[in-house]
Structure 1
Amino acid sequence: MKLYLDPGHGGADSGAVGNGIKEKDIALDIALNIRTILTNEYENIEVKMSRANDATKSLSARTSEANSWGADFFLSIHCNAANGSARGYEDFIYTSLSDSSTTAKYRDLIHEEIVKVNSLQNRGKKKADFHVLRASNMPAILTENGFIDNSQDAALMKDANWRKKVAQGHVNGLARAFNLKKK
Structure 2
Amino acid sequence: MEEKVMGAFTAIILVVVIAMSCLLVYVPNMHIIALKIEDSQMMGGRVSIMDMLRESNADLEADDPDTRQSILKGHQIRLTLPQNVTSSAVEINNNYVNRTINIKIKGIGKDYFQKFPIRGNSDNIVDVTYNSENLVGLIQITTDDVFEVSMTSEGENIYFDFVDPHEIYDYVVVIDAGHGGNVPGATKQGVCEKDINLDIVLELKKYFDACDKNIGVYYTRTDDTNPSFANRVGLANDTDADLFISVHNNSTASGRMSSINGTEVMYEAGDSTGESKKFAQMCLSNLLGELGTKSKGIVVGDEVYIIRMSKPPVALVEVGFMTNQKELDNLQEQEYQNKAALAIYNSVLQYLNL
TM-aligned CA deviation for residue 68 of structure 1? 1.2
- Normalising by the residue count of structure 1, what TM-score does the alignment of the two structures yield? 0.92
The CA distance in 2 between the partners of 1:42 and 1:168, in whole Å, is 15
Counterpart of 1:141 in structure 2 is 315
The structure-2 alpha-carbon separation of the partners of 1:165 and 1:135, relative to structure 1 and needing over 3 Å to count, comes to same
Q: Which has the larger radius of gyration?
A: 2
The CA distance in 1 between the partners of 2:212 and 2:340, in whole Å, is 17
Contact 2:265 2:283 in 1 (8 A): no
Match of 1:151 among 318, 325, 343: 325
Worse overlay, 138-147 or 171-180 = 171-180
Report the AA paired with residue 233 of structure 2: T
Matches within 5 A, 1:95-114: 95-97=269-271, 101-114=274-287
Matches within 5 A, 1:39-54: 39-54=209-224
Report the AA paired with residue 14 of structure 1: P
Report the AA paired with residue 74 of structure 1: F
Match of 1:56 among 226, 237, 248: 226
Matches within 5 A, 1:9-48: 9-48=179-218
Aligned residues: 179
Does the alignment pair 1:168 with 2:342?
yes
The CA distance in 1 between the partners of 2:281 and 2:226, in whole Å, is 30
Does the alignment pair 1:6 with 2:176?
yes
Counterpart of 2:85 in structure 1 is none
Structure 1 stretches of 4+ with a deviation exceeding 2 A read 95-98
Point out which structure has higher relative CO (alpha carbons under 8 A, 6+ apart): 1
Worse overlay, 168-177 or 104-113 = 104-113
Match of 1:125 among 287, 298, 307: 298
The CA distance in 1 between the partners of 2:339 and 2:299, in whole Å, is 22
TM-aligned CA deviation for residue 138 of structure 1? 0.7
Contact 1:8 1:28 in 2 (8 A): yes
The CA distance in 1 between the partners of 2:274 and 2:226, in whole Å, is 32
The CA distance in 1 between the partners of 2:276 and 2:226, in whole Å, is 27
TM-aligned CA deviation for residue 20 of structure 1? 2.6
Structure 2: runs of 5+ lacking an equivalent: 1-170
Contact 2:180 2:225 in 1 (8 A): yes
Contact 1:19 1:149 in 2 (8 A): no
Contact 1:13 1:24 in 2 (8 A): yes
TM-aligned CA deviation for residue 97 of structure 1? 4.0
Match of 1:84 among 252, 257, 264: 257
The CA distance in 1 between the partners of 2:226 and 2:304, in whole Å, is 18
Q: How large is the Cα RMSD of the aligned pairs?
A: 1.4
TM-aligned CA deviation for residue 172 of structure 1? 1.2
Report the AA paired with residue 13 of structure 1: V
The CA distance in 1 between the partners of 2:212 and 2:299, in whole Å, is 29
TM-aligned CA deviation for residue 94 of structure 1? 1.6
- Normalising by the residue count of structure 2, what TM-score does the alignment of the two structures yield? 0.49
The CA distance in 2 between the partners of 1:76 and 1:166, in whole Å, is 13
Q: What's the secondary structure of 1:41's corresponding residue?
A: coil
Contact 1:80 1:148 in 2 (8 A): yes
TM-aligned CA deviation for residue 39 of structure 1? 2.4
Worse overlay, 40-49 or 151-160 = 40-49
Task: Please list the CA deviations of residues 56-91 of structure 1 after superposition, one character each: whole Å capped at 9, or x if unmatched.
Answer: 211111111221122111100000111422211000
